[in-house]
Amino acid sequence: MTTPEALSYSSGTSQTPLLGDTIGDNLARTVARYGDRDALVDVPSGRRWTYRELDAAVDELARGLLGRGIAAGDRVGIWSPNCAEWTLLQYATAKVGAVLVNVNPAYRSHELAYVVKQSGMRMLVSAIAHKTSDYRGMVEEVRGDCPELGEVVYIGEGSWQDLVGAGSSVGPEALAARMAGLGADDPINIQYTSGTTGFPKGATLSHHNILNNGMFVGELVGYTEADRVCLPVPFYHCFGMVMGNLAATSHGACMVIPAPSFDPAATLKAVEAERCTSLYGVPTMFIAELGLADFGSYDLSSLRTGIMAGSPCPVEVMKRVIAEMHMSEVAICYGMTETSPVSTMTRVDDDLARRTETVGRVMPHLEVKVVDPVTGRTVPRREPGELCTRGYSVMLGYWEQADKTAEAIDAARWMHTGDLATMDDAGYLSIVGRIKDMVIRGGENVYPREIEEFLYTHPAIADVQVIGVPDAKYGEELMAWVVMKPGHDPLTAEGVREFCSGQLAHYKIPRYVHVVDGFPMTVTGKIRKVEMRAQAVEILGLQDAAGVRHA
């Protein structure tokens, strides 16, 4: 019989209480304490704000929203790469109680139309264009089919100034009255998850969800008013707007925007110029920064911490970030949009092994458990199962999709992540894959993450992803997609087999190797293994095997 102590369950105790206020009230307290300190730096435009100036700009925009008739609970969309206006709107909508709808900058017109309609969006604030995206053209294409969308505002054009100016007839007392009527449990944000099948679902988050999660992320990396946080990660995702912006503003730290979208050189230039103490990124971002030909010329000595998250963090990359980027206190965070987002996190005083081989332990005021995906029972420590989270961070639900909400959150309010994890005796968690990614080869359960971590130690491999592909004999076989380091010849399957021989069990050695320049991924840096599998069937000519049914 398994004793309770040996089960994969952990809860986060804390001497720091949860915040019970709204985002607007929390910002007001920060402004009162740190009004003259830097709050926001938009490096591309050269603009900067102190906390007092930021609050004044947010209030001006918030009164503009009131002047345009935006009511508490109305949905206001933002469709733009990172810029100062994104941040201003984030806090202005929070102050008036509007629900900010984050629209993925990579969306095209049919996806835009879906989220506008599904959220019931009244106003959309949009960039004009970015890279290959003609936002104005796509808005005009769908607007006729979206009758609820009453107003579109374009950043950098007169319509933005008109929105700001609409507040000239709205006094500060009207904004104060609106703020006084808001509650911490009100919905304040809809983030559409980048689902691999079907239309995305709108994870609906409250002030309480995201303010507390941002605050505790900042607490665990030791933020104070002296910190300057470089944010190359997208604001439209929790990584940018919660772990970045809200972690900073809840501690009086400064938010630094290095570029509209990720640019490795611009990121390191911003760190150097603004003397940033913290840098965020998904692993592929850190790999790109470390891979710059002139990486050694940047002065990164101001860095002490940062966050690597969004997808599994390769051990070898983490070690280089600590050693070569001066980020001795860098943390790994794990979570999902539906949990605001962070559920587990490494700590500053964790040893190197825990900060490179685990995703940390449960966050304060949250619970985690690892369960058998079939029975739902909590599994013993060190056994793999589905990771579940419960507590203040769990979303209110998917916007107007009660059926989808019930599939993700069970009757006891546990959020089921779909991730496979193990918990060690000290409560540290390791993600071993997605339930959907687990490969069953000839009856053996194979977790691609384990093989990827081993292949990262190959001297010629810069990045690697392992997937399962159809096989007539074994049901599934393993295929490694490999990005080579500069100056190395492409690896062959035989070369990978020789490297793995004697190190991995035979059934864990990839049968196929495919050398690529990069992986298909979402804008947040999550690898799209579903797309990789579909491509692999074509590349390897496995259509017949894909049609074979297995018990």
Structure confidence at residue 313 as a pLDDT band (50, 70, 90):
confident
Identify the pLDDT of residue 283: 85
* Predicted confidence (pLDDT) per residue in 385-440, tens digit: 999 999 999 999 999 999 999 999 999 999 999 999 999 999 999 988 778 787 88
Q: What is the pLDDT of residue 139?
A: 97
- Is there a contact between 155 and 125 (Cβ–Cβ < 8 Å)? yes
Other Cβ atoms closer than 10 A to 547: 9
How much is the pLDDT for 276? 99
Percentage of the residues of the chain whose pLDDT score is greater than 70: 97
Most confident of the following: 195-199, 310-314, 525-529: 525-529
CA–CA–CA angle 74, 79, 82 (5° rounding): 120
Residue 197: pLDDT band with limits 50, 70, 90 = very low
Fold of the domain built from segment(s) 1-16+332-434: Luciferase; domain 3 (2.30.38)
pLDDT of residue 1: 41
Residue 373 confidence (pLDDT) above 90:
no
Fold agreement (1-16+332-434, 437-546): no
Residue 120 phi/psi, 5-degree rounding, is 70, 40
Of 195-204, 253-262, 466-475, 499-508, give the lowest mean pLDDT range: 195-204
The per-residue pLDDT for 195 is 52
Indicate the range of 89-103, 182-196, 440-454 predicted with least confidence: 440-454
Q: Would you say 232 and 285 are in contact if contact means Cβ atoms under 8 Å apart?
A: yes
pLDDT of 20 above 70: yes
Distance CA 151, CA 507 (A): 58
Q: Domain limits of the chain?
A: 1-16+332-434, 437-546
Q: pLDDT by residue (tens digit) across 345-367?
A: 999 999 888 988 899 999 999 99
CA 386, 450, 313 angle in degrees (round to 5)? 80
CA distances from 239 to 52, 149, 354, 399 (A): 25, 27, 22, 20
What's the pLDDT band for 194 if we cut at 50, 70, 90? low
Amino acid at 51: Y
Which whole number is the average pLDDT over 148-172? 97
Q: Give the per-residue SS3 of 437-480.
A: CCEEECCEEECHHHHHHHHCCCCCEEEEEEEEEEECCCEEEEEE
Name the percent of the chain lying above pLDDT 90: 81
pTM across the whole model: 0.85
CB 66 within 8 Å of CB 170: yes
CATH superfamily, domain 437-546, is ANL, C-terminal domain (3.30.300.30)
Tell me the pLDDT tens digit for each residue of 450-503.
899 899 999 999 999 999 999 888 889 999 999 999 999 999 999 999 999 888
Please report the pLDDT score of residue 551 as a whole number: 37
Q: Closest Cα partner for 508 from 549, 462, 450, 461? A: 450
Q: For 172-186, what is each residue's pLDDT tens digit?
A: 999 999 999 999 999
Mean pLDDT, the chain, as a whole number?
93
Alpha helices in 148-302 (DSSP H): 158-165, 172-180, 207-220, 238-240, 247-249, 264-274, 283-290
Phi, psi dihedrals of residue 6, rounded to the nearest 5° = -95, 0
Residue 547, pLDDT > 90, answer no
> Which helix (DSSP H) or strand (DSSP E) does residue 430 occupy?
strand 429-434
Statement: residue 118 has pLDDT above 90: yes
Residue 173 C-alpha from the chain's centroid: 36
Which of 99-113, 199-213, 240-254, 426-440 is least confident? Answer: 426-440
Unique residue bearing structure tokens 């611009």: 266
pLDDT at 312 (0 to 100): 64
